[in-house]
Structures are given as structure tokens and as C-alpha cells.
Amino acid sequence: MYNGLFVKDMARLGRPMTDVIIIDNSPSSYLFQPENSLPCTSWYDDPADRELNELVPILEKLAIVKDVRPYLTKIVNENKVDFNKAKELLNIS
């Protein structure tokens, strides 16, 4: 808890932050490391939700970069993924 919010401090994972990505529907969850975030929409009560499938090509490309943060900060704007920017930046066909 931080100021009444549930925050996930990814630094506590003990892993290099260059390799860490959090996928979450709540911006407060990644308040401490927004540069490591990949926002998603809430999926509650939506059995047809396929958003994670849409993120797979992005995650596959990010798996081979030295530092995910410069990419994430360019493809995430106002807590939304810009899929067109991600395709362009990460050479996703």
C-alpha cells in the first residue's frame, strides 16, 4: 500500500529492470516504474477478451532487446498501448 493505493514495486523482484515488464489494467499498480508498464484494459466478465493475444508480438520483440524501457515509453501514451507505433518501432508485420 502506498497512499491508499495498491502499488506493485517491481524493483523488489531482484531482477534487472531492463528486463521487467508489468502488464496491468490499473495505472496505480505500476506507479513506481511506469517506464516498465504495458497497460491493458480490464477483462472482467468478458470471455471474448483477446487483448493478451494482441500483446504477444510486442512481447516477443521486447524479449530480445537489451532494455525494454526505451521501447515501452515510446509505445505507451496516456496508459494505452499505441499498437501502430509498436509495429513501426519493433518491426512487427
What is the spatial distance between Cα 48 and Cα 76, in angstroms, rounded to a whole number? Answer: 24
The domains located in the chain, with CATH, are 10-90 (3.40.50.1000)
* pLDDT at site 33: 97
What is the spatial distance between Cα 32 and Cα 51, in angstroms, rounded to a whole number? Answer: 24
Task: Evaluate whether 37 touches 22 at the Cβ level (below 8 Å).
Answer: yes
Burial of residue 6 (CB within 10 Å: 0-12, 13-18, 19+) is exposed
For the chain, give the percent of residues with pLDDT over 90. 87
pLDDT in tens, 23-62: 999 999 999 999 999 999 988 888 899 999 999 999 999 9
Candidates 46, 38, 55, 37; CA nearest to 92 is 55
Please say if the pLDDT value at position 92 is more than 90.
yes
